[in-house]
């Protein structure tokens, strides 16, 4: 699973107040979700809300967050562009934040400022907040019952805890949330699995996620649909160029690596166009090669 953007946008839409608490601890004001689409550019921001807090002497303002699964050296330019467009659209002060998710970025030169000087004149100096999740204490989320942020816990700061025990504890924590909405709880669990993929082995995540939970989850179905659409588009394009059999194998190898020779042989000897269409969908949606092999026997 690599749908980090989809996952975080779902969580921040569903639990906007929890994400405000990610930036401002013990926040008690009002939060209003705003349109993420900004003028002059169809690219949407990740999270934009209006903050209404009587304790803030600046009055109303916009909180803007961008989530980064990997380091982007162009982030200062991007954040300045977002800032000016958000400011132009809503005519309110903006508090900009970049949340870095992947601990692999800890050695990178992560900048928090855009500066521009010409002939010695300081034209502009724009600063934004940088939050590195691997430096955040997960107790903040747990102690304040911010369950909308529980999926990020696998990426936070941990001390001498074996990976498997740590991740298992995260899933147990979610199952014990005091929520009557089991579908929502399943969604939170699936989001945890998606984001954990930035740090933990895929097989470990799969071993801890229960099939019945994934089947209940709405966002999991959305991810499957999105994966199928992408796989289909890729497969159709390659099909035009190489033939449907190669398209199926291309999707499988891109998702799972080396494909067993006997499976390759079976696919190449499948000449029925209708069955090949079904196999292409299976290649895009199956969670493992073994699941693909089982399902193809029924196709």
pLDDT tens-digit profile of 110-139?
A: 999 999 988 788 899 999 999 999 999 999
> Where does residue 144 rank: exposed (0-12), middle (13-18), buried (19+ CB within 10 A)?
middle
Sign of the CA dihedral 145, 150, 155, 160?
positive
Percent residues over pLDDT 90 in the chain: 29
Note the pLDDT of residue 160. Answer: 56
Average pLDDT of the segment spanning 264-280: 83
Structural contact between residues 100 and 68, judged by C-beta atoms closer than 8 angstroms? yes
60 close to 91: Cβ distance less than 8 angstroms:
no
| Residues 174 and 200 grouped into a single domain | yes
Question: Which of 216, 236, 261 is a domain's end point?
Answer: 216
Q: Compute the distance between CA of residue 230 and CA of residue 58 in angstroms, rounded to an integer.
A: 45
Final residue of a structural domain among 216, 237, 261: 216
Cα separation, 271 vs 25, in Å, equals 60
Are 131 and 144 part of one and the same domain?
A: no
Q: Are residues 161 and 192 in the same domain?
A: yes
Mean pLDDT within 178-191: 87
Coil/strand/helix, residue 136: coil
Query: How many structural domains are present in the chain?
Result: 3
Q: Do 34 and 64 fall within a single domain? A: yes
Distance of CA 137 to the CA centre of its chain: 20
Nearest to 247 by CA among 237, 257, 256, 255: 237
Tell the residue number behind the tokens 């639990």, with chain if given: 15
Domain boundary, last residue among 167, 184, 216: 216
Looking at 176-272, list the stretches that DSSP marks H as alpha helix, in order from N- to C-terminal side.
182-196, 202-208, 211-216, 218-242, 244-256, 261-268
Q: Give residue 131's pLDDT.
A: 95
* Same domain for 112 and 28: yes
- Same domain, yes or no, for 249 and 163? no
Tell whether 204 and 232 lie within a shared domain. no
Q: What is the pLDDT of residues 78-112, one digit of tens each?
A: 999 999 999 999 999 999 999 999 887 777 889 99
Among candidates 14, 16, 124, 117, which has minimal Cα distance to 79? 124
Helix 163-175, helix 182-196: angle, nearest 10: 160
pLDDT in tens, 248-262: 888 888 788 888 888
Q: Comparing C-alpha atoms, which of 149, 144, 142, 132 is closest to residue 25?
A: 144
DSSP element (H, E) containing 88: helix 75-90
Instruction: Tell me, yes or no, whether 117 and 181 share the same domain.
Output: no
Name residue, tokens 């930036």.
Answer: 23
pLDDT reported for residue 162 = 65
Are both 186 and 77 inside the same structural domain? no
Residue bearing the bigger pLDDT, 87 or 286: 87
49 vs 20: CA distance, rounded Å: 9
The parent domain of residue 32 ranges over 4-135
86 lies in the same domain as 160: no
Asked if residue 34 and residue 96 are part of one domain, the reply reads: yes
Q: Are residues 35 and 14 in the same domain?
A: yes
């Amino acid at each position: 699973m690599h749908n980090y953007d989809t996952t975080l946008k779902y969580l921040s839409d569903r639990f906007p107040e929890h994400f405000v608490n990610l930036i401002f601890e013990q926040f008690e004001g009002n939060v209003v979700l705003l349109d993420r689409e900004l003028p002059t550019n169809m690219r949407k921001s990740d999270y934009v809300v209006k903050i209404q807090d009587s304790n803030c002497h600046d009055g109303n303002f916009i909180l803007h967050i961008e989530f980064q699964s990997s380091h982007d050296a162009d982030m200062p330019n991007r954040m300045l562009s977002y800032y000016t467009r958000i400011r132009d659209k809503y005519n309110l002060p903006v508090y900009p934040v970049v949340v870095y998710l992947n601990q692999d970025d800890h050695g990178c030169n992560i900048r928090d400022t855009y500066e521009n000087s010409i002939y010695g004149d300081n034209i502009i100096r724009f600063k934004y907040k940088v939050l590195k999740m691997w430096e955040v204490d997960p107790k903040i989320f747990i102690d304040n019952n911010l369950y909308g942020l529980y999926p990020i816990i696998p990426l936070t700061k941990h001390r001498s805890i074996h990976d498997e025990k740590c991740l298992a504890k995260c899933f147990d924590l979610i199952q014990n949330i005091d929520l009557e909405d089991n579908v929502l709880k399943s969604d939170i669990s699936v989001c945890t699995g998606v984001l954990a993929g930035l740090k933990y082995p895929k097989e470990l995540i799969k071993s801890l996620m229960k099939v019945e939970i994934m089947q209940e989850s709405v966002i999991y179905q959305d991810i499957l649909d999105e994966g199928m659409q992408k796989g289909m588009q890729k497969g159709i394009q390659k099909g035009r160029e190489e033939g449907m059999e190669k398209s199926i194998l291309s999707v499988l190898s891109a998702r799972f690596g080396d494909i067993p020779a006997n499976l390759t042989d079976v696919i190449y000897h499948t000449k029925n166009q209708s069955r090949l269409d079904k196999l292409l969908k299976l290649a895009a949606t199956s969670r493992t090669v073994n699941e693909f092999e089982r399902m193809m026997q029924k196709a």
